[in-house]
Amino acid sequence: MNFSLLFSHVLLKGKSLLLIFLPFTFGLPALRRTVLWRSIMGLSGRLSGHRNSVQGSDSHNYTSWLKQYPSGLESFESIMKELPRKKIVVFLDYDGTLSPIVDDPDRAFMSPEMREAVREVAKCFPTAIISGRSREKVKEFVKLRNLHYAGSHGLDIMAPNSDNEANGVSYQPAKKFLPEIQQIKRALEEESRKIEGALVEDNTFCVSVHFRHVHERDLGKLEKKVETVMENYPDFHVTQGKKVMEIRPTINWNKGHAMEYYLHTLGHNDTDDVVPLYIGDDQTDEDAFKVIQRKGQGIAILVASIPKHTNASYSLKDPSEVLAFLLRLARWSNSTSPSITTPSPNI
């Protein structure tokens, strides 16, 4: 059976019907299944790069795109106008949001100014960082104690304890997959040695294969090697980020679930006076944007310098604009009544 034709036909009938045929893809290799779904949804199925700035004709397209996803900085007053009596909970991605995307993932450092801005925001609001990195690695990058951390795209959460302290108990919904994840990591490390520039990163509950330094002529070869390894692990899937392939367990858990888990654990879930504010730049952040969109309450901000489809309502161009937004958010909080916010524990 030609699944591509079948799915394309069903897509014309309505995207919701695609869910009916989801089980038919489970027999496909993880990477091939990912490429198929990206193709169906109109996304590129091949490894590709992402430009980091607006260039040439993109400038006009970006300006038009901003009409649909206005700048969070320019819209700040209108965003906050409806929130004086709401409790804000802040969620932040790391790479591409708090730090720039860099060639060496081990050197994705945030600036001292950004660290101070996040510190100030966390004094005003409960604040969590939800990153694709391992929880311990992103914690080492951020170096702040007065916020909460979730790594591996929300699969490794350090949840507040009963006293609302950030260093509480951990929640790891994919813990049973750890042995297989280590097997996958070792297999990918062995295969990637044959591709110059490829780098495998262990993020505890997911494995990242970076190809920023891989020559274009070797991208297809690297993709094939990853596909070959993943054929032995049907319980995992592959997604593509910015110059990286991410291997994760196929379970019903993502950054959106992690955000909801934090809201629930902090005692703010299903409360009309609580507003989640989420800032992120990656495809995995879209899961959190969808939750905010579905609930009809919250502020979803995409960090992007080129037009792209998103479930966010607002945008910021780059980490420098994120910095300006966070500083403004902290100033706004300090200028309002202290009784309208619920500060994170400063431990």
93 catalytically annotated:
yes
Where along the chain do its domains lie? 85-171+253-335, 175-249
| CATH ID of 85-171+253-335, from 2.40.30.20, 3.40.50.1000, 3.40.50.720, 3.30.70.3270 | 3.40.50.1000
- pLDDT, tens only, 88-139: 999 999 999 999 988 888 899 999 999 999 999 999 999 999 999 999 999 9
Q: What is the distance between the alpha carbons of residues 38 and 32, in angstroms, rounded to a whole number?
A: 10
Judge whether residue 19 has pLDDT over 80.
no
Cα–Cα nearest to 42, from 15, 3, 65: 15
- pLDDT, tens only, 301-342: 999 999 999 999 999 999 999 999 999 999 999 887 543 444
Task: Give the global pTM.
Answer: 0.78
CATH of segment(s) 175-249: 3.30.70.1020
- Provide the pLDDT confidence category of residue 3 given band limits of 50, 70 and 90: very low
pLDDT at residue 163 in the model? 53
Higher pLDDT, 305 or 38: 305
Q: What is the distance between the alpha carbons of residues 92 and 132, in angstroms, rounded to a whole number?
A: 11
Q: What is the distance between the alpha carbons of residues 1 and 121, in angstroms, rounded to a whole number?
A: 54
pLDDT at residue 40 in the model? 38
Q: Which of 58, 93, 95, 156 is catalytic?
A: 93
8-state DSSP, 71: B
- For every residue of 202-268, DSSP letters joined together read E-SSSEEEE-TTS-HHHHHHHHHHHHHHHTT-TTEEEEE-SSEEEEEE-SS--HHHHHHHHHHHTT-
pLDDT at residue 265 in the model? 85
Whole-number average pLDDT of the chain:
82
Cα–Cα nearest to 284, from 135, 83, 100, 95: 95
| Range 185-200 average pLDDT | 94
